[in-house]
Every structure is written in structure tokens, then in C-alpha cells.
Amino acid sequence: MAEAAKPKTSNSGQTLAQKLLARASGSELVAPGDIVVVQVDLAMAHDSSGPRRWKPHLEALGASLWDPSRIVIVSDHYVPAVDGESAAILKLTREFANEQRIGHFFDMEGICHAILPQKGLLRPGIFVAGGDSHTPHAGAFGCYAAGFGATDMLGIVVTGQTWTIVPETIRVELTGRLQSHVSAKDVMLLLCRELGMDNAFKAIEYGGPGVAAMSMDERMVLSNMAAELGGEVGLVAADDVTLAHIRAHGGTASEADLAWKPDPDAAYERTISINLSDLEPQIALPHSPANSFSIDHAVGAPIHQAYIGACVGAKLEDLHMAAQVLTGQRVAKGVRLLVAPASSQVTSDAAADGTLSILLAAGATLLPSGCGACAGMGAGLLAAGETCISTTNRNFKGRMGHSEAFVYLGSPYTVAASAIAGCVSDPRALSAELVGVQ
């Protein structure tokens, strides 16, 4: 990985983040450090961050929602209800969505970050405010998508506006092509190590031929895990791949949307260059995504559970990666392989193309779509002393259950290979073994 500084001048062009915030604030140009008031195009919250927190304040203030048609609510954290408290939260969420005539309410259909692109609700150029830290996921579609706390989101759904600081931008330039059994998740684990997790008030802009060659599912991993870097947003400029995905999912996109890209002479805080052709599978050891190394640093570490789930790790392409490794294989004795597809649509598509059959034949247990164990809720939690390898984006202490449990992070390839071996394993080694057997 190479890093270079680029001098800033008053005549420099605009980064993608600057262009998006200029549009949202009605300004011709904005500069890093400016404080701007922006118009929100889409406001999203889930069952944990939305109605249960908004309702009492709306009633106390006598306030109403600014535009229910621009508000998205997704039930994904407490689904399906496992106790009375969860059921009550879901009941309140459903009643609120009905009473307020929310334009887009998706109940138990999947994780909010998977739902927005799946329903064609994203478009290059828009400003998305979300009541969840992984809202940057949507930045893969060339829109400014940032996470806000419950108090800020209350103000947003009442006024349709918010304020933000125009961030400096870190440019991540990807060249080359990913090797077999290496994915965008490995790119992000490398960046978590190299950039660290303290990049507050920074935009992470991804580009280069390596990004252009990636599918939208893989680009979403890059934007999603900008949150692990501590960034405000993770951005990918719109291209034909972006427009094709939006149109295929019922959204509206035009050739004019291709204008949402940085200027060639944009000024960056710094530029990071990664040659994907040299990248090996990465692994994050407990208890931080930044505690990451090449896979050989952890090979052989025993596991009790392998988890394929979360907005970042259970999209259809992620399940395809796991199935590629698991075809004709069986999960090791004493290891639980849990699969929680990111949405019901992913489950349906994986069933239709035979992916689910491969996973189940290998010994996987299928879980409901939702945030589940990733957020420390529902099925798949860990007991004290247990070790899990997971496709999720975070492995903080206590994140997936007991504070004395241990979580490794890896790509779907790595998690599937580890489930077969019963310990952290290099998916390339398993592939080589199978070729040798054949």
C-alpha cells in the first residue's frame, strides 16, 4: 500500500463529498471545514433508532413529520421478537408507521442497509440521513449517506434539514484485480489496520480501476465499513454499474447521474493506493477491526461458531462466495455454521439459484434475516469462552454476546473455509487441496 500527500490550493477541484454537500446545501462550492445546513432527501431509521425514540418527543412537542413520503422505517433489530419487550417495540413501530402514513415501511424484510438499494430508493446526488452508524453503506451509489444519533434524527424527520461539517477527503485508489478467494472485505480489513479507526469528520472516497471492476455488492462493503474507519461517509462515484443496479431494482436513474464524480484536480487530505493483485486474505483478531493481519497470523486458531450474516457480509454475492467454498464439503464436528441472509429477497434468490441447498447440505443453520447476532440480538449469541469467526463489520468485546467471547472477522470465503476446518483457515489453501484431490 502506498500513500501520497496532494497539495491543496484555492483553485483545486471538488471532491465527491464537496459536490454532494454543495448540492444539498444549495451552494455553488463548499470547502472542507465549512458548516452547512443541508436539505435531506431521504431519512431512514430502524425499529431500535426510530419510532420508539421519536414518538414521545413528537407528542410532547406537538410536532409532525416533515414529509412521510421521504421517510424509510425498517424493522430489523428486534425481529423476530424473542421476548415481550421486543414484541412491544415492534408493535409500536408498526402502529407508528401506519398512523404516520410512512411512505416506505419494511417490516421483517431484511436489514435496513440492504433494503434501501434493494428497493431502488437510492440515487446518485441525494443526501441520506440514517439512524444507524452503517448508513454510509448507501454511499456506494454516489450519494452522501451519513449516520445520525436519535436526537438529530428527530430534528431531521420534523424539519427535513440538518447541519454538517464539510469533511476533508481521504482518497483510496484501487488498482489491479482481486485474486481468487479475496474480496472487498479483505480490502477493508487492510484499511482498518493501515488507516486506523479514528478518522472522524473524514470522507473516504474509493476509486480507480479496481473499484470499477467490482460489483455493487462489493462496493457496498467499501462504503459500509467507512464507519469502521471512523469516517463520516464512504463514497463511490456513479458509473454504468451503479445505474444498472438502480434500474434493475425499480429505481430511477439517468445518464445525468454519471456527473456525480470528483474533479480530476480535486484536493485530498491524502491518497492511499492499494494494488488488489497483491492482496491476500485478511483476518481481524479480537477485539477490533483494526487488529487485522494477513490470514497466516491466525491460521489454526480453533473456533466454535462461524457466522455469515450482517449488512456487510450476507448479501447474495457473499452467500455465493461461501457456497463456492462449501460445495461438497461438511462443517467440522463441534462447529456451528449460522447463515442469516441480509434480506428475505436474498434468501429467495439464494434458494432459487441453488445456493441455499449448498449451504444447508454442508451443515449450515439458516437464521431469519435481520441484524441478529451482529448487533448482539436474537439467535447466534456467544457464551463466555467461545470463539466465532464472522463476516460482520465489528468484533468489539461483547458485541456478539458475552464480554468474554472472542470474535474474528473475515470474508465469506474465509469464514466458510474455517467452518470446514474447525479453525481459522486460509480459503486459498482449501481450494488448493480440493484441486489436488481432483
The string of pLDDT tens digits covering residues 180-193 is 999 999 999 999 99
Do the Cβ atoms of 150 and 53 come closer than 8 Å?
yes
Name the nearest CA neighbour of 159 among 66, 26, 262, 279.
66
Given a cut of 70, whether residue 3 has pLDDT beyond it is: no
* Residue 216 CB coordination number (10 Å): 19
Do the Cβ atoms of 135 and 113 come closer than 8 Å?
yes
Do the Cβ atoms of 94 and 294 come closer than 8 Å?
no
What integer pLDDT is reported at residue 9 of this predicted model?
Answer: 40
What integer pLDDT is reported at residue 430 of this predicted model?
Answer: 78
**355 band by pLDDT with thresholds 50, 70 and 90:** very high
Three-state DSSP state, 189 = helix
φ and ψ at 171, to 5 degrees? -95, 130
Given a cut of 60, whether residue 326 has pLDDT beyond it is: yes
Distances (CA, A) of 347 to 60, 159, 223, 298, 333: 41, 37, 23, 31, 26
**124/115 Cα distance (integer angstroms):** 17
pTM equals 0.95
Given a cut of 90, whether residue 148 has pLDDT beyond it is: yes
What integer pLDDT is reported at residue 7 of this predicted model?
Answer: 38
H helix and E strand count, the chain: 14, 19
What's the full length of the chain, in residues? 438
Q: Which domains does the chain have, with CATH numbers?
A: 1-278 (3.30.499.10), 282-433 (3.30.499.10)
Do the Cβ atoms of 252 and 246 come closer than 8 Å?
yes
